[in-house]
Structure 1
């Protein structure tokens, strides 16, 4: 019995959609893991010890490439800022975003990628805390219970981390908290249908503000950045290419994050993010040969399982 033309067309569209999603997830994984590893290589193994300037390079690339993607490639329609309050909301988000990215980059100077990812997996814990404090939104008790292993796993991993560094740990926790705060703040500040921006347009407007915020910080806290970079460029002929590739990869990571969310869901993105963290841990250990212990691996595993349980609880009780 042959299938109808409509059924064949539906199956063909389903296969194409599945292939598209698989390609987008692959792009998201590779770009996210790539930018993390490139950041680690630049900041710890290459002598490029300027995390604020590196973040500014990322934001500059995001501004330029977002403009090209929206205006020339027309991936999404260009949205305009409609009011001064809306601009202030975007600026606030941009400052918080800067804090999360700079904190993450600073932590990579002191911590291995594996432990950095373990701490980053606690983002749902901070998100739940900030959501309650800012919106008084309560979740089901089982949802909060699922966060217990998330925190416990990081505590165990910290005790078993041979390369543990207190300042790096504090910066990583701060970056994770800022990332969660930014997520909640975005939902609160840009909830009005009349002012809501899609992710790509939000990135377009946030990135230049981030550059303006980061430039004076770079000049004050990293005053010799240009001198050292020029010297590194002379000693390492591929340094500039590596920096450009790193910045472009940061934009692709943001873009692919938006596209995966668009074609799947936020919950799917969270679950996939947990798996991405595990993949990044394995790759970083293979590349950088940082020492690991059974206790550290066990703690990270508990954290990942806790986040998966949290996502499942959110899905069932939302």
Structure 2
């Protein structure tokens, strides 16, 4: 039983790593290497897949019990979270058009810094002094990595930072807006409600800002059937990332997921450099390593302060 349990947990972690890194690399391939330069439409496909698969997983397969919304105010709160979540994903995908995956991951590792900032601004709650000190190498590492990045792109960097900040803002707001026992939702139910909001927002934005994207997508799929399979698999994988994230947390702990997440970024960097052959400087790698080290220290400081 113990061996079976450990094997199941190992398989879950492997699935989580594979889906996380897989969707990241496939996004980069489609947006940068394949020539499909429509990040908003790609995000729309992701959110559409999340909407469909969430309903199937919760309403039909009963993976988790369905949690109904209790009020109009709760719907408004969830819609606001869905919009911020949507902006963070769009920003992350746009940045992949301009930045290599390795640098994208280095910037994304600064999420704890923005989480600490937003948590203080919105709740005025101070962390232990040591927790804030550990954020210094997190930020310093990204500054060093930026200076040593051969493929640095200012617009891509700004968008990536904005997406990271939006991701942190969504986390903090989720804790504030859905803090009462009656409003709290597990991550899978929250995704089921947020994804359709994102679809409703992204559809008109994509059609207006990415002119002719539907026609281009259809013509590309007709001329190259592999593209359609790439797009469908990538969209399904975007949902599976959230499912695997939920299952790993359920069968291990949030702290374990955090530790695995730190290692995942490093693995993604190595694999992306091997696949896309993007140049990486020693300075850039030292900066990224410093950021990851800072994140590990931050996680340890947060754990000790509780």
Q: 2:270 aligns with which of 277, 282, 286?
A: 282
Match of 1:172 in 2: 160
- 1:230 deviates by 2.1
The Cα offsets for residues 207-231 of structure 1, whole Å up to 9 and x where unpaired, read as 1111001111111111210122122
Match of 2:88 in 1: 100
CA–CA separation in structure 1 for the residues paired with 2:125 and 2:253: 21
State the secondary structure of the residue aligned to 1:137: coil
Match of 2:252 in 1: 264
CA–CA separation in structure 2 for the residues paired with 1:294 and 1:186: 38
CA–CA separation in structure 1 for the residues paired with 2:210 and 2:191: 25
CA–CA separation in structure 2 for the residues paired with 1:111 and 1:99: 18
CA–CA separation in structure 2 for the residues paired with 1:182 and 1:113: 23
Map 1:86-235 → 2, pairs under 5 A: 86-235=74-223
The TM-score with structure 1 as length reference comes to 0.95
Match of 2:33 in 1: 45
Matched, 1:300 2:284: no
CA–CA separation in structure 2 for the residues paired with 1:302 and 1:31: 26
CA–CA separation in structure 2 for the residues paired with 1:300 and 1:96: 26
Structure 1 unaligned spans of 5+: 1-11
CA–CA separation in structure 2 for the residues paired with 1:69 and 1:234: 31
- 1:198 deviates by 1.1
CA–CA separation in structure 2 for the residues paired with 1:269 and 1:39: 23
CA–CA separation in structure 2 for the residues paired with 1:143 and 1:23: 33
The Cα offsets for residues 95-140 of structure 1, whole Å up to 9 and x where unpaired, read as 0001100000000000000000000000000001111111112111
CA–CA separation in structure 1 for the residues paired with 2:214 and 2:59: 32
Structure showing greater Rg: 1
Structure 2 unaligned spans of 5+: none
- 1:15 deviates by 2.8
Match of 1:241 in 2: 229
- 1:19 deviates by 1.9
CA–CA separation in structure 1 for the residues paired with 2:14 and 2:82: 27
Which runs of structure 1 show a deviation greater than 3 angstroms over 4 or more consecutive aligned residues? Answer: none
Match of 1:9 in 2: none
Of 189-198 and 283-292, more deviation after overlay is shown by 189-198
Length, aligned pairs only: 306
The TM-score with structure 2 as length reference comes to 0.98
- 1:93 deviates by 0.3
- 1:308 deviates by 0.3
The Cα offsets for residues 239-261 of structure 1, whole Å up to 9 and x where unpaired, read as 11110000000000011111111
Of 128-137 and 115-124, more deviation after overlay is shown by 128-137
CA–CA separation in structure 2 for the residues paired with 1:48 and 1:242: 11
CA–CA separation in structure 1 for the residues paired with 2:255 and 2:145: 25
